[in-house]
C-alpha cells in the first residue's frame, strides 16, 4: 500500500490505483501528488482481485484502473470492470487503456467507468482528467482538485445531448476524426449512426472532399457491386454508359457504408480486397483503378453474431473494426430525452408556424420513462406528429397518447372467416405480398422497421417488391 502525507498538503479523499507494474504505479503516484492541489491517500493494488478486496473493506473516492491488470478478476475486461463498479460504491472510475485497445476502453465505459485515458500517460494528464470528472459529477471538494468548469456540450455536429454518455461520444469523435483508419459504428436503429459518420468526415482532414454514403440494405444485391465499384458500358443489359461507383466518387474523401452487414458474402470478399489494396475494378472492367478513401461503416446488428452465423467475413470485420464507436440507445441516456424533445418541438413548431407553451410535468415524465425502441428517430417522429396534429398550447399526456402510434401497433383483431366453400385461397406470393405491405403500412412506410418486425432483412423486402412489379408488368 502506498500512503502519502506532506506538511504542505492535507489528506483529502482516497484514491485506489490498480496497476500490475509496481514501478509505474510508484511513478504515477508521485506525479499525481505533484499535480493535485490537495493530496489524496493513495492505495496501490497490483491486480483486480486485490483491488476488489480493498473495495470490500474501504470506501474510495477515485479508482484509476489499468485495464491490463484486471485479467485475474474476469477474462473479459467488461466483466471485470462491471464487478469493480459494483464494489466501487459511487467512486469515480477512470480506466487507463493501451492506445490500441479502444474496444477494451469502450467496454469499460459500457460497464460503468466514467472515462478513460490512453497510454502512455502521466500524473499531470491523470490529474487534469480527474479535475474534469470531478467538475462534471459535482465532487471537486472531496477529491481535492480544481478546474475551470467547462460547459457541457448539448449540441455537437448534428447530435443533441448533454449526458455523460454523449459527452464521451463527442470527445471520441474529436479524437477519431483526425485519423485515416477505418471506423466501425455500432448502435441500434435510430441512434444516429449516419450523423456520427458525417461528423467524423466534417471534423477530419478530408472535410473539403466528398462524403459519399451508400445504404447496403436499400439496394438489391445484384446491383450492389455496380453501385459500390461502378460499371463499364455494355457490362450487362441496361449499362448504356460508363459510370463511377460510390468508392470512386469518394476519392480523396469518405465512403460511408451503412448497414454493411447486408452485403452479400461474395461482395464482402471484393470489399476486403479493395481495403487491402486501395484498388478497384468497375463491373465489366479488367484494369484496376487506384482510389484514396477513408471507409466508415455502420450496422445495427451484432457483428460477432453475424460472424458466428457466417453472414459476415471475420477477416473483413477486423479490417473494418479498427476504430470502433458505439452509439448509446436513448433509454441509456434518459437525461437527454427532454433536451431532444424541446429541440424537436422548437424546430417543427417553427416549420409549421405554430406556438407551443412547453410540456406538462406529467407528459415529461411519460416521455422520460418510455423505452424508445426506435431511439431518437422514434422521439423525433412523435414530436413532429404532435406539432402537425395540434395547434399549440402545452403538450399533455393526452396529446402524446394521440400521436404515439408506434405504441399502438398491434395485431389486428381477428375477423370471422367466410365459409370455406366461398373462400378463395390466394397464391403464396400474394399472401406474402399482403403481409409485407401491411407491415410497412403499420410502421408508416418505414421498411427497416417492418423488416425487423417480420424478422427478415430490408433487402429481402426490396427484392420481393421488385419481383412483384415485374410480375405486374408482365401480366
Q: Quick one: which H or E segment has residue 349?
A: helix 337-352
| 293 in Cβ contact with 250 (< 8 Å) | yes
| 183 in Cβ contact with 297 (< 8 Å) | yes
Grid cell for residue 185:
459504428
Q: Are residues 138 and 237 in the same domain?
A: no
Query: Cβ-count burial of 31 within 10 angstroms (0-12 exposed, 13-18 middle, 19+ buried)?
Result: middle
Q: What is the four-CA torsion angle of 131, 136, 140, 146, rounded to 10 degrees?
A: 40
How many residues are listed for the chain in this entry?
475
CATH no. for residue 336? 1.10.8.60
Q: Are residues 80 and 127 in the same domain?
A: yes
Of 23-37, 75-89, 185-199, 364-378, the one with minimum mean pLDDT is 23-37
Q: Name the residue with higher pLDDT: 192 or 420.
A: 192
Q: Are residues 217 and 261 in the same domain?
A: yes
Q: Which of 228, 245, 161 is nearest to 196 (CA)?
A: 161
Q: Are residues 294 and 354 in the same domain?
A: no
Confirm whether 1 is domain-assigned: no
Confirm whether 151 is domain-assigned: no
pLDDT tens digits for 228-255? 999 888 777 777 788 899 999 999 999 9
Q: Name the residue with higher pLDDT: 135 or 193.
A: 193
Residue 73, CB-side half-sphere exposure with 13 Å CA sphere: 27
Confirm whether 133 is domain-assigned: yes
* Sign of the C-alpha dihedral computed for residues 28, 33, 34 and 36 taken in this order: positive
Q: Quick one: which H or E segment has residue 340?
A: helix 337-352
Q: Are residues 243 and 274 in the same domain?
A: yes
Confirm whether 413 is domain-assigned: no
Q: Which of 76, 109, 143 is the last residue of a domain?
A: 143
CATH no. for residue 24? 3.40.50.2300
Mean pLDDT to the nearest integer, 69-91: 86
Confirm whether 321 is domain-assigned: yes
Q: Which of 380, 324, 321, 375 is nearest to 347 (CA)?
A: 380
What are the two backbone dihedrals, phi and then psi, of residue 424, each rounded to the nearest 5 degrees? -95, 130
β-bridge partners, 64: 17, 94
- What's the pLDDT at 272? 95
Which residue reads 460477432 in cell numbers?
A: 304
Q: Are residues 387 and 438 in the same domain?
A: no
Confirm whether 180 is domain-assigned: yes
Mean pLDDT to the nearest integer, 347-358: 91
Q: Are residues 322 and 335 in the same domain?
A: no
Q: Are residues 344 and 430 in the same domain?
A: no
DSSP for 42-106, please give it. Answer: EEEESSHHHHHHHHHH---SEEEEEGGG-TTT-SSHHHHHHHHHHHHTT-EEEEEE-TT-HHHHH
Q: How confident is the model at residue 5 (pLDDT cuts 50, 70, 90)?
A: very low
Q: Which of 326, 351, 367 is the last residue of a domain?
A: 326
Q: Are residues 262 and 318 in the same domain?
A: yes
Of 34-38, 147-151, 218-222, 395-399, the one with minimum mean pLDDT is 147-151
* Sign of the C-alpha dihedral computed for residues 49, 52, 54 and 60 taken in this order: positive
Mean pLDDT to the nearest integer, 86-92: 82
Q: Are residues 135 and 216 in the same domain?
A: no
- As for how many domains the chain has, the answer is 4
- What's the pLDDT at 50? 93
Q: Residue 414 above 50 pLDDT?
A: no
pLDDT tens digits for 326-341? 998 998 888 889 999 9
Pairing of strands 243-244, 230-231: antiparallel
Confirm whether 195 is domain-assigned: yes
CATH no. for residue 268? 3.40.50.300
pLDDT tens digits for 112-170? 787 777 777 777 777 777 776 666 555 544 454 444 444 567 788 899 988 878 888 89
Q: Which of 326, 346, 373 is the last residue of a domain?
A: 326
- What's the pLDDT at 38? 62
- What domain range includes position 248? 159-326
β-bridge partners, 214: 257
Q: Are residues 134 and 177 in the same domain?
A: no
Confirm whether 153 is domain-assigned: no
Share above pLDDT 70 across residues of the chain, in percent, rounded to a whole number: 85
Q: Are residues 47 and 97 in the same domain?
A: yes
CATH no. for residue 452? 1.10.10
- What's the pLDDT at 152? 62
- What's the pLDDT at 129? 74
Amino acid at each position: 500500500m502506498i500512503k502519502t502525507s506532506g506538511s504542505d498538503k492535507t489528506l483529502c479523499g482516497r484514491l485506489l490505483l490498480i496497476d500490475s507494474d509496481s514501478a509505474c504505479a510508484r511513478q504515477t503516484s508521485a506525479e499525481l501528488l505533484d499535480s493535485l492541489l490537495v493530496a489524496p491517500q493513495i492505495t496501490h493494488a497490483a491486480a483486480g482481485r486485490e483491488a476488489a478486496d480493498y473495495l470490500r473493506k474501504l470506501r474510495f473516492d477515485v479508482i484509476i484502473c489499468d485495464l491490463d491488470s484486471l485479467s485475474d478478476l474476469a477474462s473479459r475486461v467488461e466483466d471485470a470492470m462491471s464487478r469493480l463498479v459494483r464494489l466501487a460504491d459511487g467512486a469515480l472510475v477512470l480506466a487507463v487503456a493501451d492506445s490500441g485497445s479502444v474496444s477494451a476502453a469502450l467496454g469499460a465505459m459500457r460497464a460503468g467507468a466514467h472515462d478513460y485515458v490512453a497510454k502512455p500517460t502521466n500524473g499531470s494528464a491523470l490529474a487534469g482528467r480527474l479535475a474534469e470528472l470531478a467538475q462534471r459529477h459535482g465532487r471537486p471538494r472531496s477529491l481535492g482538485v480544481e478546474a475551470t468548469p467547462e460547459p457541457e456540450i448539448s449540441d455537437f455536429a448534428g447530435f443533441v445531448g448533454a449526458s455523460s454518455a454523449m459527452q464521451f461520444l463527442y470527445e471520441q469523435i474529436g479524437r477519431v476524426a483526425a485519423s485515416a483508419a477505418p471506423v466501425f459504428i455500432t448502435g441500434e436503429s435510430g441512434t444516429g449512426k449516419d450523423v456520427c459518420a458525417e461528423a467524423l468526415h466534417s471534423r477530419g482532414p478530408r472535410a473539403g472532399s466528398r462524403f459519399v454514403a451508400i445504404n447496403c440494405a436499400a439496394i438489391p444485391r445484384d446491383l450492389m457491386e455496380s453501385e459500390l465499384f461502378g460499371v463499364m458500358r455494355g457490362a450487362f443489359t441496361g449499362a448504356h454508359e460508363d459510370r463511377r461507383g460510390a468508392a470512386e466518387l469518394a476519392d480523396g474523401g469518405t465512403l460511408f457504408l451503412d448497414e454493411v452487414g447486408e452485403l452479400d458474402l461474395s461482395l464482402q470478399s471484393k470489399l476486403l480486397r479493395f481495403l487491402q489494396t486501395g484498388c478497384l475494378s468497375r463491373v465489366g472492367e479488367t484494369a484496376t483503378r487506384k482510389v484514396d478513401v477513408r471507409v466508415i461503416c455502420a450496422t445495427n446488428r451484432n457483428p460477432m453474431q453475424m460472424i458466428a452465423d457466417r453472414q459476415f467475413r471475420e477477416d473483413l470485420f477486423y479490417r473494418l473494426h479498427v476504430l470502433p464507436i458505439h452509439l448509446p440507445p436513448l433509454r441509456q441516456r434518459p437525461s437527454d430525452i427532454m433536451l431532444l424533445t424541446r429541440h424537436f418541438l422548437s424546430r417543427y413548431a417553427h416549420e409549421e408556424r405554430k406556438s407551443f407553451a412547453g410540456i406538462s410535468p406529467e407528459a415529461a415524465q411519460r416521455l422520460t420513462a418510455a423505452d424508445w425502441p426506435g431511439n431518437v428517430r422514434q422521439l423525433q417522429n412523435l414530436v413532429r406528429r404532435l406539432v402537425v396534429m395540434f395547434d399549440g398550447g402545452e403538450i399533455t399526456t393526452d396529446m402524446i397518447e394521440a400521436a404515439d402510434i408506434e405504441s399502438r401497433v398491434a395485431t389486428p383483431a381477428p375477423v370471422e372467416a367466410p365459409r370455406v366453400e366461398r373462400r378463395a385461397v390466394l397464391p403464396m406470393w400474394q399472401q406474402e405480398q399482403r403481409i409485407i405491405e401491411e407491415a410497412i403500412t403499420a410502421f408508416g412506410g418505414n421498411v427497416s422497421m417492418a423488416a425487423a418486425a417480420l424478422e427478415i432483412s430490408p433487402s429481402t423486402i426490396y427484392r420481393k417488391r421488385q419481383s412483384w412489379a415485374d410480375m405486374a408488368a408482365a401480366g
